Amino acid sequence: MSISFPVGINFIIGENGVGKTTFIKKLSGLSKGPGRSFWENKRIKKNYEFISMVMQDVNYQLFTESVWQEISIVSSDDELKKKVLTELDLYDKKDFHPQILSGGEKQRLLIGLAKVSKKPIIVLDEPTSGLCKGKMMKMINYLHEMESLGKVVIVITHDYELIHKCGGNVFEFVR
């Protein structure tokens, strides 16, 4: 398989079990297997240096003792960190342990980490799962913000309403 994702929002759709999550795990370097990845026509060996991931289960992606420490891993710019945490309604929780945040707050924190990182590719696995309509609209705004920053945004989803409202490229995986 050969696939090229342009800058902007790219959706991967397909039936359960068709290999969407396996694909992004291999793409991100979380899973070994055959294949190669390229960025700007150069082969990359350390995919994690180029890709930010927001997995469906966010509980395994946060490791530090506070929200502030978590975002400090990817940026040393205090003003930028404050701005992003404020936009995500998380600045008042900057001293909280990430594991006591709600699922939606953890997801927003991971999106914030992806936003402030210098990594050009962001992968989100089912980012609207369990979100109400208002939070889905915020997610659409986050995706467009990432796009405006010149990032390649790859979204695995079964949410056709998200695709319709957000717009972007659609890649369908089939058996």
Query: Given 3-state DSSP classes, what are the helix, strand and coil percentages for the chain, each rounded to the nearest 5?
Result: 40, 15, 40
Is residue 124 domain-shared with residue 44, that is, in the same domain? yes
What CATH number did the domain enclosing 142 receive?
3.40.50.300
* Residue 139 forms part of a structural domain: yes
Do the strands 169-172 and 8-13 form a parallel or antiparallel pair, or are they unpaired?
parallel
Is residue 94 domain-shared with residue 9, that is, in the same domain? no
Is residue 26 domain-shared with residue 46, that is, in the same domain? yes
pLDDT digits (tens, 9 = 90+) for 68-78: 999 999 999 99
Enclosing domain of residue 158: 1-50+119-175
Question: What is the rounded distance in angstroms from the CA atom of residue 44 to the CA atom of residue 154?
Answer: 18
pTM for the model stands at: 0.87
Nearest to 70 by CA among 56, 85, 57: 85
pLDDT digits (tens, 9 = 90+) for 79-128: 999 999 999 899 999 999 999 999 889 988 998 999 898 899 999 998 88
43 phi and psi angles, rounded to 5 deg = -70, 135
Nearest to 121 by CA among 38, 42, 64, 56: 38
Is residue 18 domain-shared with residue 32, that is, in the same domain? yes
CB burial of residue 97 (10 Å; 0-12, 13-18, 19+)? middle
